Amino acid sequence: MALKIYGVARSRTARVLWMAAELGLDYEHVKVDFATGETRSPAHLALNPNGHIPVIDDNGLILWESMAINLYLAKQYGAGKLYPSGLEDEARAWQWSFWGMTEVERPLLTALMNRAFYPEAQRDAAAADMAEKTLAQPLGVLDATLGRSANLLGANFSVADLNVASIFAWARPAQIDMSAFPKTAEWLKNCAERPAARAARQLQRE
């Protein structure tokens, strides 16, 4: 099979599995798990010297970083559909993807870890609350944008939506109150209900 996706579905690999499902790609899923230390094995470090998942091997192109992988897959296999055809919208897709990683991921992960993942005794409720406060600013930006169009680049769902919504997929387990951001809540629900998003979530249960 030409495309291999390395990483378990209950990690940021979920973003790539969602993209592969949207594009209807045939791929081999190599379930490298962070919980077992496999991400630090010599074989995996040869693919990604950072010791992280996801990684893809597409016909010999080894690529890591979830957003870069999705932008690549969308452009390679979804040009004119999930990937915009014009340079301006392409640049906006990069903008939203970088924005998600730099403005949203860290505080959202802090809330997620301290409200859902760390053992109760290790959770820092104040850190989670502070992270949620930090998120109000980028959430305001997102909500204003989604007040003007149904999706980030306009009417149609694109790689920009998938990348940003796949980061915000943590909002529910992180117990982020979305009531002040109704456009975002609605958009997130629409994204999550897409058949490909459901299929990717199903992989987390297997």
Among 4, 65, 81, 154, binds ligand GSH (CB under 6 A): 65
Asked if 11 is part of the footprint of ligand GSH (rule: CB under 6 A), the reply reads yes
- CA distances in angstroms from 171 to 72, 121, 130, listed in the order given: 25, 22, 15
Measured distance CA(16)–CA(14) in Å, rounded: 5
Among 5, 9, 12, 83, binds ligand GSH (CB under 6 A): 12
Per the DSSP assignment, residues forming a β-bridge with 61 are 58
Among 2, 28, 36, 40, binds ligand GSH (CB under 6 A): 40
Smallest distance, Å, CB 97 to ligand GSH?
A: 10
Smallest distance, Å, CB 205 to ligand GSH?
A: 17
Measured distance CA(68)–CA(56) in Å, rounded: 10
Smallest distance, Å, CB 167 to ligand GSH?
A: 9
Smallest distance, Å, CB 38 to ligand GSH?
A: 9
Measured distance CA(131)–CA(110) in Å, rounded: 6
Asked if 106 is part of the footprint of ligand GSH (rule: CB under 6 A), the reply reads no
Write out the two tokens for 43.
Answer: 């074989």
Q: Which is nearer to ligand GSH, 39 or 158 (CB)?
A: 39
Among 4, 51, 92, 192, binds ligand GSH (CB under 6 A): 51
Asked if 158 is part of the footprint of ligand GSH (rule: CB under 6 A), the reply reads no
Residues 6+ apart with CB under 8 A from 193: none
Residue 48: name the closest of 35, 59, 34 by CA.
34
Among 17, 25, 30, 53, binds ligand GSH (CB under 6 A): 53
Task: Please give the torsion angle defined by the CA atoms of residues 41, 37, 200 and 82, in that order, rounded to the nearest 10 degrees.
Answer: -50
Write out the two tokens for 199.
Answer: 């299929």
Q: Tell me which residues touch ligand GSH (CB under 6 A).
A: 11-12, 34, 39-40, 51-54, 65-66
